[in-house]
Amino acid sequence: MIAMIHNSRIIGTYGKDPGTVRWLGIPYAKAKRWHMPELIEDYGEEFKADHYGPASIQTRTYMPENKSNRQFYYHEFRDRCEFTYSEDCQVLNIYAPQNAEKCPVIVYIHGGAFIGGSSDEECFRDPLWARNGVIGVTLNYRLGPLGFLCDPQLKQRDGHSGNYGLYDMITALQWVQKHIAAFGGDPDNVTLMGQSAGARCVQILCCSPLAKGLFARAVLSSGGGEGNWLGKCCREEEKYALWQDLKEAVGAKTLQEFEQLSPQQLYAGFGALLGKDFRKYFCLCNPVSGNDLLPDNVAQCIQSGNVMDIPYLIGSNAMDMDPKRMHEDVCRYAFTRTQPSYAYLFSRHLPGDDAGSFHSSDLWYWFGTLREGWRPWQKRDHDLMQEMMGYLLAFASNGDPNGEGRTKWPTAQSEQIMVFADGVTRTDGKEPAELKDAAAVIGW
């Protein structure tokens, strides 16, 4: 359980499953507020990686979710966990087989609409990947105003602003390239995976010149494709007026005054704007284009072919946030890739309530973490978990999800998708009967 980074001993612990180990809360970068992240490589003589590190400060830092209107997702993923929060949130977790050597690696980016979330929510803890020979890396990154502020004074100082959370992700991927071999991983066999806003980030990184060579394939769940259901990726200048509203809300007249605010003051102003006009300010923290990370918006990159030519595994849920639109985006993107790619629809109605196949419900199955959930799981759930995890880990190993004992998954170029249904897993065309018009639950 000891990994060496240069002369530093990184001390981990045993994982929940036999034959697995884990290293938790390893800092991969440091950054001042609204500055670029700097890679961390010196951990002193010894670093104990035995507990989860802090998540990015976010609304729930100051407003407990059990007293908010977000009860469904709080109960689903978070009410049995304790979290810490900090501006210094650039940490990652590694789950590996014991005595691993050149194992495939999945680096996972959590969702949360760019304003919330954490890598140590219940569904992400001790994924069964390590028990099956694949190393998992989950990471935290800057969120909300701390991660995506656009400001003309910052652009004057640095040449650009915004996308700080995305720069964190690139730095984490660089850290993985340099150091994952010390934990038994193969830096030449890295798959980047994300869900919701995390999938949108994966899509952006697939279009970014700065991310070339940092991963070999991509998995996008409920957030990838050609559409902009999470909000248009505009240029940073288009966000200045909205961010100025936040400055005025907190009484900051200069960038220096803004930088000196406490995180709680910053989030009080941000929360006030969301309460005033949620539709207007919800997308305030979306990534922006027109910089070295993303020269053009994602749609333009796709249209011009400036997107990584790699295998993709991409899909959404039958009762997702915007089910039909998201599914159409998935099919449009997956069907037109040049590398063999694979599309899916998750339509399992989770037992325990009437929420159905809601946004994020597939996470329990991809990570193999049903044991962490509260629901009265049935045999179908455990079978489906093994199937979906098997597909994912095979894809992460060699770019092809297929394997013995599983339904053949045709490439998306054949305009066929995989349906992870209540009954048997099957293939179908792009309009499966399970796809709904609307979600029963909205949120993340």
Task: Please state the rounded mean pLDDT for residues 149-157.
Answer: 96
Is residue 148 within 8 Å of 408, Cβ to Cβ?
Answer: no
- pLDDT at position 15: 96
Residue 46, CB-side half-sphere exposure with 13 Å CA sphere: 6
8 against 68, higher pLDDT: 8
Task: Please state the rounded mean pLDDT for residues 125-149.
Answer: 97
Task: Please state the rounded mean pLDDT for residues 46-54.
Answer: 98
- pLDDT at position 443: 80
Find how far residue 103's CA is from the centre of its chain: 21
Task: Please state the rounded mean pLDDT for residues 39-58.
Answer: 97
* Residues 6 or more apart in contact with residue 317 via CB below 8 angstroms: 222, 323, 345, 346, 347, 357, 358, 359, 361, 362
Q: Tell me the three state secondary structure of residue 364.
A: helix
Find how far residue 282's CA is from the centre of its chain: 18
pLDDT reading at 67 higher than 90: no
Which part of the chain is CATH 3.40.50.1820? 1-229+290-307
Give residue 229's pLDDT band: very low, low, confident or very high (50, 70, 90). low
Task: Please state the rounded mean pLDDT for residues 135-160.
Answer: 96
Give residue 442's pLDDT band: very low, low, confident or very high (50, 70, 90). confident
Give residue 283's pLDDT band: very low, low, confident or very high (50, 70, 90). confident
pLDDT reading at 232 higher than 70: no
CATH code 3.40.50.1820 for 1-229+290-307: yes
**What does the mean pLDDT of the chain come to?**
95
Give residue 64's pLDDT band: very low, low, confident or very high (50, 70, 90). confident
Q: Tell me the three state secondary structure of residue 359.
A: coil
What distance in Å separates the CA atoms of residue 428 and residue 133, rounded to the nearest whole number?
A: 30
* Residues 6 or more apart in contact with residue 353 via CB below 8 angstroms: none
pLDDT reading at 419 higher than 80: yes
**Most confidently modeled of 60-69, 129-138, 218-227, 266-275?**
129-138
Residue corresponding to tokens 């994924």 = 127
Phi, psi dihedral angles at 46 (to 5 degrees):
-150, 140
- pLDDT at position 169: 98
The token duo for 244 is: 């100025």
- pLDDT at position 400: 98
Q: pLDDT exceeding 90 applies to what percent of the chain?
A: 91
* Span 337-390, pLDDT tens digits: 999 999 999 999 999 999 999 999 999 999 999 999 999 999 999 999 999 999
- pLDDT at position 256: 92
pTM of the model: 0.97
pLDDT reading at 262 higher than 60: yes
- pLDDT at position 279: 86
